[in-house]
Amino acid sequence: MIVLAGTIGAGKTSLTKRLANHLGTKAFYESVDDNPILPLFYKDPQKYGFLLQIYFLNRRLQEIKDSFSNDLNVLDRSIFEDSLLFKLNADMGRATETESDIYDSLLHNMMEELPDQRHQKAPNLMIHIQISFDTMLKRIKKRGRPYEQLDADPSLYDYYKQLNERYQKWYEDYDESPKMSINGDRYDFVEDPQASREVLAQIDRKLESLGLK
Give residue 108's pLDDT.
87
184 marked as part of a ligand binding site: no
139 marked as part of a ligand binding site: yes
Which of these, 190, 205, 57, 207, lies nearest to 123 by C-alpha position? 207
Which of these, 90, 76, 86, 88, lies nearest to 28 by C-alpha position? 76
Q: In DSSP terms, which residues pair with 182 in a beta bridge?
A: 129
Cβ 135 vs Cβ 82: under 8 Å: no
DSSP 93: T
Asked whether residue 196 carries a pLDDT value surpassing 90, the answer given is: yes
Residue from 33, 76, 173, 188 carrying the catalytic annotation: 76
Asked whether residue 135 carries a pLDDT value surpassing 60, the answer given is: yes
The DSSP secondary structure of 143-164, one letter per residue, reads H--GGG-TTT-TTHHHHHHHHH
Chain-centroid distance of CA 192 in Å reads: 22
Residue 188 appears among annotated catalytic residues: no
211 marked as part of a ligand binding site: no
19-50 pLDDT tens trace: 999 999 999 987 666 788 888 888 888 899 89
Please tell me the pTM assigned to this model: 0.86
42 marked as part of a ligand binding site: yes
Please, what are the domains in the chain?
2-209 (3.40.50.300)
Asked whether residue 74 carries a pLDDT value surpassing 90, the answer given is: yes
